[in-house]
């Protein structure tokens, strides 16, 4: 008979090599977690970065539509609701638009509108109306088509057999 106790090895004491391996494994795991949270890999090629738009979309064409003595409703129609309205001085409206295009730097446009009562009196910011802006190009096209004399359709001919035209 074979003694079952002979095949079972007693618990071995951990060796220094096992502790070094375990310590290296813990170090590498911790390093992986720490670098996953870092911003070291900002400019990795072939990684897509989304464009981020914030604020009111404003451009030079919209600003060129502003005229002195426009009412607040007209300004809202052109630019939309302001991003910032000072509750203590409601005669100033601020519009801010910033865009971060993927890997590029963030761009910001700012405009402040000043009102006297309900009328626009002044525009400040890095976008200002041009003195004499060129008229916008029309996106519509008008085509004159000649009038045609159309024959009666098959349905109209069949319906005409059963109805009387007085």
User: What pLDDT was estimated at residue 73?
Assistant: 92
Q: What residue has token string 């590498």? A: 28
End-to-end Cα, the chain, rounded Å? 123
Domains and CATH numbers, the chain: 52-125 (3.30.1450)
Tell me which DSSP letter residue 146 carries.
P
User: What pLDDT was estimated at residue 7?
Assistant: 58
Q: How high is the mean pLDDT in each 10-residue block of the chain (166 residues)?
A: 56 74 88 68 69 84 88 91 82 88 82 91 85 70 77 83 74
Distance CA 113, CA 82 (A): 9
HEC secondary structure over 59-110: CHHHHHCCCCCCEHHHHHHHHCCCCEECCCCCCEEEEEEEEECCCCCEEEEE
Query: Residue 161 is encoded by which pair of tokens?
Result: 């057999």
């Amino acid at each position: 008979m074979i003694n079952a106790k002979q095949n079972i090895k007693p618990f071995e004491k951990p060796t220094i090599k096992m502790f070094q391996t375990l310590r290296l494994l813990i170090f590498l795991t911790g390093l992986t977690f720490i670098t996953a949270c870092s911003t070291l890999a900002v400019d990795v090629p072939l990684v897509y970065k989304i464009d981020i738009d914030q604020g009111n979309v404003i451009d030079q064409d919209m600003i060129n539509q502003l005229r002195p003595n426009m009412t607040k409703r007209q300004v809202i129609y052109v630019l939309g609701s302001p991003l910032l309205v000072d509750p203590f001085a409601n005669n100033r409206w601020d519009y801010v638009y910033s865009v971060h295009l993927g890997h590029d730097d963030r761009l910001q446009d700012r405009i402040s509108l000043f009102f006297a009562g309900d009328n626009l009196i002044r525009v400040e910011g890095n976008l200002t109306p041009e003195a004499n802006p060129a008229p916008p190009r029309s996106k519509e096209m008008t085509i004159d088509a000649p009038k045609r004399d159309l024959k009666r359709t098959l349905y109209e001919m069949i319906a005409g057999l059963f109805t009387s035209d007085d």
